[in-house]
Amino acid sequence: MIGKIRFYTLRAMETILILLVMGLTLSVLWGVFTRFCIGRQASYTDELARILLVWVSLLGGALAFGLKAHLGVDYFVGKMASDARKMLSIVVQLVTLVLTTVVFLIGGTLLASVQMSQQLPTMPWLSRGVVYAAVPIAGVFIFMFTLENLVEILRTPAEKLGAQTQSEG
């Protein structure tokens, strides 16, 4: 059951990221076209590209956590005994949960809520808080994937514990 939820969550995130990158590309291309062919750049293209880049970066980072494709320092971890490797993996997951909670969930939610009343200069119909909402949304996914990894680590005997990132495996 959890495997299916994870699979469809990852696929949905990938699809959303593909659409966001397409939007980012089209925004930049339209900005270049209007600037050099029409003589005056469309006012919203720079800001839209920045917004989409924020969302792509944060959701892409969360997707990397879900795919275990994030950076991992595997050289020293591979030299450790299996029990020490398991303990280190648990500590890393707990630290990630704490940082995700404080920075992404609490901090990101505060940031987004404070900015909800602010309008963007070139897109007054869009709240600045919508831009910053990417932080807590990405945080939810990072928290969820990290918690899942922690449960998997705790359930697996130390000698059978595999790599925690794709680079290690």
pLDDT tens for each residue of 53-95: 999 999 999 999 999 887 776 777 778 888 888 898 899 999 9
> For the chain, what is the mean pLDDT?
90
Strand partners, 130: none
Residue 169 confidence (pLDDT): 47
Residue 166: pLDDT above 60? no
Who has greater pLDDT, 167 or 134?
Answer: 134
What does the pLDDT read at residue 64? 94
When pLDDT is cut at 50, 70 and 90, the band that residue 165 belongs to is low
Q: Which of 10-19, 125-134, 160-169 has the lowest mean pLDDT?
A: 160-169
Token pair 């469309």 is found at 42
| pLDDT of residue 115 exceeding 70 | yes
The residue with tokens 């949905």 is 12
SS3 label, residue 54: helix
| 164, 68 contact by CB (below 8 A) | yes
Question: Do 24 and 56 touch, CB atoms closer than 8 A?
Answer: yes
